[in-house]
Amino acid sequence: MNAHPLEEEGRSTRSIDPCIVVIFGATGDLTARKLMPAIYNLARESLLPANFGCVGFARRPKSHDEFREEMKKQVSDHSRVKPIEENIWSNFHEKLFYHQSEFDKDEGYEKLKGFLGELDAKLGTKGNRIFYLSVQPKFFPLIIEMLSKHGLIYKENENNWSRVIIEKPFGKDWKSSMDLQNHIQKFITEEQTYRIDHYLGKETVQNLLVFRFANSIFESIWNYKHIDHVQITVAEDLGIGNRGEFFEEEGLLRDIVQNHMMQLLSIVAMEPPIDLSAKGIRDEKVKVLQSIRPLSKNDFQNNLVRGQYGKGFIEGEQVKAYRQEEEVDKSSNIETFVALKLYLDNWRWTGVPFYLRGAKRLPKKVTEIAIIFKDAPGLLFKHHNSKNDPNVLAIRIQPDEGISMKMNCKVPGPSSPVQPVKMDFRYGAYFGKTPPEAYERLILECILGDSTLFARADEVEQSWKIFTPILEYWSKNPPKNFPNYPSGSWGPKEADDLMARDNRNWRIP
């Protein structure tokens, strides 16, 4: 059995099979900014198998050498470790190759099959394959079907294996998600399917499980008796950039809330798993999603806010409104801001609201989980100029990954005022190195065959059951006030009103 990625000694005890990673969409933005730098850094830290190859599959014609030079520039620009190390790259680039084909051409897949066979003989990769689908979701079913048709996907056995990594979004709503799942399961098994959500690869997200279940001081108070509410914020200062066409189809709810934020919520709220196996952890995450109270019409009107950014200022520079972005409808009603309140109908979290807020063009980029504890009982320190603030445990996912605790403390001097202070732990400062990028961890886990950090089919299904009614409601009730928040602000007034009705405020991370 392979050790689990969250076990302390797991990284050194797991054997790594030789393999080839084939990236569909190899000339795209994700490959350039994330995937190739991640694979390079795995090579740099000697975490790839000795017998390894990477093949880029895309529609644009180019040679192996042209692809290698392009990837070298992208790694130089986007790697978390700079500058690029020439001695490592000289060995790494010899394992990079390029294959040109349309996604729907049988001839291209037949040539790919022959080429991979040649690489197996040359590199000693033994027929093990990972197919990474870094393409538009509409191509997922086609590519998987073509891979199966041409014998490139096969069930795992004692000799070799093949696996498929699928990028989000996995469907556009519950029905399309189920249709996609029903289609691909004709060709690959659930054990071969790795639905990637890069938030699960972030060091702080993984540490959240250790933080909760390895420290009894926190686990004992992780319930409705001590926690007033939970806030989860995923804020980005950027707009949509060159993703106008994609965002017009997806929107913020599909792009961030339905996947990233629900993964964070499920890990924060889950019960202790029976063990650290993929099944044990994923079973508990699904139970959280199943316990989320369905939203009613009243919730749609009072506990759900959508917004779209207008023009404004980010770091002193004027930026344009969403409707002025490239490839965006000038009267678009696509949301770039979502805030909502959810309840979990289970014993641990009864009566505790979870407030979710995700958005583009906020004042800064930050992803944070904030646990706000209930006020201390009594009136001992509610006098004079004392600030008897609630205790807050903040888990910062990005940037500056770490954990902080806000507590009340007496200021030195005879007047005895009480003032909130913060205890702060940051990964980079304490361990003296930058945590690995999420894609590094996730690609490695797929090579190792560990699916713990990937979404299971029933997780995706339960999440879509929660959010499909919202999408249906919004389609029938278009907004009348877009854009409704300026770029550089913390969102529309309605989001503040949502909290104010509960006598609470959004935390400014």
Lowest mean pLDDT across 1-10, 110-119, 398-407: 1-10
Phi, psi for 112 (deg, rounded to 5): -65, -40
Asked if the structure places residue 360 within a domain, the reply is: yes
| Nearest Cα residue to 184 out of 199, 201, 163 | 163
CA dihedral 457, 458, 460, 466 (to 10 degrees): 160
Q: Are residue 86 and residue 227 in the same domain, yes or no?
A: no
Q: Are residue 245 and residue 351 in the same domain, yes or no?
A: yes
pLDDT digits (tens, 9 = 90+) for 210-264: 888 888 888 889 999 999 999 999 999 999 888 888 899 889 999 999 999 999 9
Contact yes or no for 195/166 (Cβ under 8 A): yes
Residue 125 three-state SS: coil
Asked whether residue 14 carries a pLDDT value surpassing 80, the answer given is: no
Lowest mean pLDDT across 192-201, 307-316, 347-356: 192-201
pLDDT digits (tens, 9 = 90+) for 155-175: 877 788 999 999 887 888 999
Asked if the structure places residue 450 within a domain, the reply is: no
Is the alpha carbon torsion for 446, 452, 458, 461 positive or negative? negative
Give the percent of the chain with pLDDT over 70. Answer: 94
Long-range contact set of residues 160-163: C-beta below 8 Å, sequence gap at least 24: 160/126, 160/127, 160/128, 160/129, 161/17, 161/128, 161/129, 161/192, 161/449, 162/128, 162/129, 162/130, 162/131, 162/192, 163/129, 163/130, 163/131, 163/192, 163/193, 163/194, 163/446, 163/449
Asked whether residue 149 carries a pLDDT value surpassing 70, the answer given is: yes
Q: Are residue 179 and residue 299 in the same domain, yes or no?
A: no
| Amino acid 216: pLDDT | 86
Is the alpha carbon torsion for 152, 155, 159, 160 positive or negative? positive
Mind telling me the catalytic residues?
A: 260
- Residue where a domain stops, chosen among 141, 171, 195: 195
| Amino acid 140: pLDDT | 93
Asked whether residue 324 carries a pLDDT value surpassing 80, the answer given is: yes
Q: Angle at the Cα of 284 (from 279 to 286), degrees rounded to 5?
A: 95
Q: Are residue 239 and residue 132 in the same domain, yes or no?
A: no
Contact yes or no for 48/54 (Cβ under 8 A): no
Helices (H), 61-190: 64-78, 86-92, 106-123, 140-149, 174-184
pLDDT digits (tens, 9 = 90+) for 341-400: 999 999 999 999 999 999 999 999 999 999 999 987 766 666 555 556 888 999 998 888
Concatenated DSSP letters for 195-247?
Answer: E--GGGGSHHHHHHHHHHHS-HHHHTT-STTTEEEEEEEEE-SS--TT-HHHH
| Amino acid 432: pLDDT | 67
Q: Are residue 133 and residue 208 in the same domain, yes or no?
A: no
| Amino acid 233: pLDDT | 97
Looking at residues 285-295, what average pLDDT do you find? 95
Q: Considering its fold, how many domains does the chain have in total?
A: 2
DSSP code, position 469: H
DSSP code, position 55: E
Residues ≥6 apart with Cβ < 8 Å to 341: 299, 303, 304, 353, 354, 355, 356, 498, 502
Owning domain of residue 87: 10-195
Asked if the structure places residue 58 within a domain, the reply is: yes
Q: At what angle do helices 262-269 and 203-213 cross, to 10 degrees?
A: 20
| Amino acid 241: pLDDT | 84
Separation of alpha carbons 347 and 342, rounded Å: 15
Looking at residues 320-335, what average pLDDT do you find? 95
Asked whether residue 323 carries a pLDDT value surpassing 60, the answer given is: yes
Is-above-0.85 flag for pTM?
yes
- Residue where a domain stops, chosen among 137, 168, 195: 195
| Nearest Cα residue to 97 out of 78, 80, 114 | 114
Asked if the structure places residue 362 within a domain, the reply is: yes
Six-digit token string for 14? 């797991």
Phi, psi for 285 (deg, rounded to 5): -65, -40
Q: Are residue 306 and residue 231 in the same domain, yes or no?
A: yes
| Amino acid 376: pLDDT | 76
CATH of the domain at 125: 3.40.50.720
Mean pLDDT score of the chain, rounded to an integer? Answer: 89
Asked if the structure places residue 245 within a domain, the reply is: yes
CATH of the domain at 250: 3.30.360.10
- Residue where a domain stops, chosen among 169, 195, 221: 195
Asked if the structure places residue 447 within a domain, the reply is: no
Q: Are residue 50 and residue 75 in the same domain, yes or no?
A: yes
Separation of alpha carbons 483 and 235, rounded Å: 18
pLDDT digits (tens, 9 = 90+) for 113-144: 999 999 999 999 999 999 999 988 889 999 99
Q: Are residue 465 and residue 398 in the same domain, yes or no?
A: yes
Looking at residues 478-482, what average pLDDT do you find? 94
At residue 12 the predicted structure's pLDDT band, cuts being 50, 70 and 90, is very low
Q: Are residue 76 and residue 122 in the same domain, yes or no?
A: yes
Six-digit token string for 389? 């603030």
Lowest mean pLDDT across 27-41, 73-87, 322-336, 341-355: 73-87
pLDDT digits (tens, 9 = 90+) for 329-339: 999 999 999 99
Measured CA distances, 254 to 77, 120, 170, 195, 212 (Å): 29, 39, 10, 15, 28
Give the percent of the chain with pLDDT over 90. Answer: 67
Q: Are residue 190 and residue 209 in the same domain, yes or no?
A: no
Asked if the structure places residue 506 within a domain, the reply is: no
Looking at residues 190-204, what average pLDDT do you find? 85
Residue 442 three-state SS: helix
Six-digit token string for 151? 């014998």
Asked whether residue 9 carries a pLDDT value surpassing 70, the answer given is: no
Report the range out of 11-25, 122-136, 199-213 with the highest average pLDDT: 122-136
Asked if the structure places residue 89 within a domain, the reply is: yes
Q: Are residue 278 and residue 350 in the same domain, yes or no?
A: yes
Q: Are residue 83 and residue 62 in the same domain, yes or no?
A: yes
At residue 2 the predicted structure's pLDDT band, cuts being 50, 70 and 90, is very low
